[in-house]
Amino acid sequence: MMRGHDVVITGLGLLTPAGLGVAASWDGLCTGRPTAATDPELAGVPVDFSCALPEFRPEASLNGRLVMRTDRFVHMALIAAREALADASITPADWDPQRVGVVIGVSTGSMESWAPHFAGVADGRHGLALRRHPDPAQHGGR
């Protein structure tokens, strides 16, 4: 058990299959509303359902250019972090950066970006070669 450090959770931000936002997520959990549904992108595989975010539109909350340049999980993290800050009633101008932290849970990361590249390599469409530099220390390695 860690001792000597007090932690205070001052704000929450949630984007879950049960709902977008803390109130909607909590309501979805408390009512027991199912979130699993058949997913057309999984057609033909043994597990053909997923628990997707309902009506998630990142462009409604984020700059269009940012949305185009980043993966979906980044959109979710940024929107949830904004919600947590609003819930805590703080802005970046109000805090000491040495005393504020953010915890983010992500299950798959950027598979959205990597999947087309993996498929291209598997199909022989991309000449991707991974090699180790002879002296990793030159590139920040050990």
In 3D, which of 23, 22, 51 has the Cα closest to residue 35?
Answer: 51
pLDDT, position 136: 46
75, with CB counted inside 10 A (0-12, 13-18, 19+), is buried
Quick check: 142 pLDDT over 70? no
- Residue 90, burial from CB neighbour count under 10 angstroms (0-12, 13-18, 19+): middle
pLDDT tens-digit map of 30-58: 999 899 999 998 999 999 999 988 888 99
* pLDDT confidence of residue 63: 93
